[in-house]
Amino acid sequence: MRDLIAQALLPLLRLLLPATGRHSAEPPPAPQHPAHIPASPWSRPWTAPSAQEVREIFRDEQMRHLAAPQRERSYAAAFARIGVDYDHPTMPLGLIVRRGQVAA
């Protein structure tokens, strides 16, 4: 019985409510592409140092025997040689600069 009712109402519904969605009779409009498509960050080559290069710098035996400020300077110089800005010190700045030594 339900099938007969659905078959009777379907043509009436098609007249009253034309299809506008995915299954409409007319093809959907072509998508408009933006004028400028941003480049993917994955299309550029990797510019940071590899993990192996960084491990070699931090595991250098000659630097382990230096005092903390000289060791940080050596790390910064080693990173500068490979073209990287070393902006993450591994020790707190309070060890380098004491309050009594700072001239305000």
| 58-90 tens-digit pLDDT | 898 988 889 888 888 888 889 888 888 877 666
Which amino acid belongs to residue 52? Q
> How far is it, in rounded angstroms, from Cα 71 to Cα 66?
5
Band of pLDDT at residue 12, cut at 50, 70 and 90: confident
What sign results for the dihedral spanned by CA atoms 61, 67, 70, 73? positive
The pLDDT score that the predictor gives to residue 87 is: 74
Kindly state the DSSP code that residue 86 receives in the 8-state scheme: -
Predicted confidence band of residue 10 (pLDDT cuts 50, 70, 90): confident
Averaged pLDDT score across all residues of the chain: 76
